[in-house]
Amino acid sequence: MTQEPDVNQPAMQAPTCPRHPDRVAMVSCQRCGRPACAECQRPAAVGVQCVDCVNQGKRETPRQVSVFGGGLAQGRPVVTIGLIAICAVVWVAQRLDPTVTDNLLYAPILSKEDPWRFLTAAFVHSPYSPFHLLFNMYALWICGQYLEPLLGRARFLALYLISAIGGSVGYELLASTPSSVSDQVTGWNTPTVGASGAVFGLFLAVVVLNRRLGREIGPMVTLIAINAVIGFVVPNVAWQAHLGGAITGGVCAGAIALLGRERRQWQWVALAGIVVVLAVLAAVRFESVHLPTA
């Protein structure tokens, strides 16, 4: 005997995706059990999870940080590569258009009029020979591969940029000033270019951080000593920028190391404070110089 269907009983409906109610979803999330369409499925260790559970899991997973509190930088040192690429592109532009150098170089006499030059000078190099660029970029590559994963990308970039500014400030603080109207060939009027100040900041940062970690510092100390001697022996080398960048990089690294990952939020406050100190030193030095008038 056949049984007539009960017209009052609702028909079985296929499950649908909560995010896309118009789509049939025959696969359930292994975490929450809700159906998920093909677009909302994400592969999991066992089965699949819906996109909502995956996002929730990311929020619940503790953020991985480096030994000094920065975000864990895995893979290629993209910040280091990016800085090298910028310097290389700028150098090509310098070769094609000499005004690029004029617009980005730093000289103490321009400190008040064009304060951005404190930083931009680190991205221009001597356009007459590639060796100035190549040496600095090689040093940046060696140090960057080590420091970027150690600090995290954001802190490494901050260290580099602040050291670059510190190099220019050091050049301003130690530059000789004109003693008469006719005395125009002085450090106050002499422009400087190059990433050397920032690179020296990385050099000393390696020493400070390795010291904190109990690692070997001898080879880096030797490298710094050799380059310091070169700065005094080879003509047309701005040793003042090297010294300023090295001190600034060492102070930045010291602040990061002392605060550590437990107080990593305060590291940014400390770095901002260093920038403020550099700005005050630059302003005070500029205002203290009284150039001779006719």
Average pLDDT for 228-232: 79
Q: Cα(234)–Cα(241) distance, rounded to whole angstroms?
A: 14
Please tell me the predicted confidence (pLDDT) of residue 1: 47
Q: Is 242 among the residues known to form the active site?
A: yes
Give 39-85 pLDDT, tens digit per residue: 888 888 777 888 888 887 776 655 666 778 777 667 889 999 999 99
Catalytic pick among 111, 125, 163, 242: 242
Give 139-162 pLDDT, tens digit per residue: 999 999 999 999 999 999 999 999
Topology adopted by domain 81-288: Rhomboid-like fold (1.20.1540)
Domain boundaries, the chain: 81-288
The strand ranges marked E within the chain are: 27-28, 35-36, 41-43, 48-50
Average pLDDT for 185-193: 85
Q: Is 196 among the residues known to form the active site?
A: yes
Could you tell me the pLDDT band of residue 294, with boundaries at 50, 70 and 90? Answer: low
pTM (2 d.p.): 0.78
Tally of CA atoms within 13 A in the half-sphere of 81 that contains its CB:
4
Catalytic pick among 66, 196, 288, 290: 196
Give 268-291 pLDDT, tens digit per residue: 999 999 999 999 999 999 999 877
Both tokens of residue 154? 């954001």
Please tell me the predicted confidence (pLDDT) of residue 172: 96
